[in-house]
Structure 1
Amino acid sequence: MIRALLTFLGSLSLALGVLGIFLPLLPTTPFLLLAAFCFLRGSPRMHAWLMSHHILGPYIRDFQTGRGIPLRSKCVTLTLMWVSLALSAWIMPVPWTRWFLLIPGIGVTIYLWRLPTRPSGDPDRTASDPDQISRE
């Protein structure tokens, strides 16, 4: 019963994490980390799939090991977030509520810039070998 619940929560977290890639105010990394945690205890097969996923796996492993994220990813993320926040502020019907969009925007910007930045020339050694982390 617990394993089924953890697998369900992992699937829900994974879905929210993937949505967070496209929606500016929905965080991606915390949901992906939660999904990895839930899958680790609920479904080893889903955990192995997530960790070996060619797009999501390296980001989770790099975050867990403290390697950071590439500078290009930080720049793209911040650019898309601020463009979507500006668009949201422009569309917002109540003018005074537009200022509230600055709170998550500034918070996410500070959070991302405080994360370690992986040099662009650093090869992603974890993408080709998911078990590399356990051997380091």
Structure 2
Amino acid sequence: MSLPWPMRGLYLAVGWVMVMLAVAGAVLPVLPTTPFLLAAAWAFAKASPALDRWLHTHPRFGPFLTDWRNHRAIPRRGKVAAVIGMTVSWLVVLLVSGNPVALAASGLCMACVAVYVVTRPSPPDRVPAE
């Protein structure tokens, strides 16, 4: 089943915008990479099998996307990095903002995301190729 052109174009546009945001997130410490890559994979899966395959076979990001797609799993290293990143971000809010509501709201939001991330399974061990 093929999507009508306007919907396919919309999914492709969303996918490419998400890829660009993910690339920005790879170099900017305040912007995450993974959520944007997951959104790009979702959009490309709907619009273009070739672009979906490209993301899932990418040497750097492909294994993580495949682990998420197949097992809804996050590597332990990714969990640690996410929790550390959220903690540092919250500390920045603490130092910069004098607003207790902003501090509480950001802390609650980050705590909920941290619980979600930490409770995801870790991916199964990969068998090295011979």
Residue 67 to residue 39, structure 1, CA distance change in 2 (3 Å): closer
Deviation of 1:19 after TM superposition, in Å, equals: 4.6
Q: How much is the aligned-residue C-alpha RMSD, in angstroms?
A: 2.6
State the one-letter code of the partner of 1:28: T
Q: 1:6 to 1:96 in 2, by over 3 A?
A: closer
> Is the CA contact 1:18–1:28 (under 8 Å) kept in the aligned structure 2?
no
2:34 to 28, 40, 43: 28
User: Is contact 1:9–1:35 with CA below 8 Å preserved after alignment?
Assistant: yes
Q: 1:20: how far off?
A: 5.1
Q: Which residue of 1 aligns with 2:110?
A: 105
The residue that corresponds to 1:79 in the other structure is: 84
Contact 1:19/1:28 (<8 A) preserved: no
Alpha-carbon spacing, 1:79–1:69, altered in 2? closer, same or farther (3 Å): same
Match of 1:48 in 2: 53
* Aligned-residue offset at 1:15: 2.9
Contact kept in structure 2, 1:13 and 1:32, CA below 8 Å: yes
- 1:59 correspondence with 2:102: no
What percent identity do the matched residue pairs reach?
29
Contact 2:18/2:39, CA 8 A, preserved across alignment: yes
Q: What does residue 4 of structure 1 align with?
A: 9
Q: What secondary structure, in the 3-state scheme, does the structure 1 residue paired with 2:106 have?
A: helix
The answer for unaligned runs of 5 or more in structure 1 is: 129-136
Q: Compute the displacement of 1:106 (Å).
A: 0.7
Aligned residue in 2 for 1:131: none
Change (3 A) 1:85 1:32: same
17 and 111 in structure 1: CA distance in 2 versus 1, 3 angstrom threshold = farther
Q: In structure 2, which of residues 20, 24, 47 is the aligned counterpart of residue 15 of structure 1?
A: 20
Instruction: Kindly state the Cα deviation for residue 40 of structure 1 after the two structures are TM-superposed.
Output: 2.2
Range that drifts further, 35-44 or 10-19: 10-19
How far apart are the structure 2 equivalents of 1:19 and 1:37? 19
Query: Highest relative contact order (Cα 8 Å, sep 6+), 1 or 2?
Result: 1
- Alignment length, in residue pairs? 122
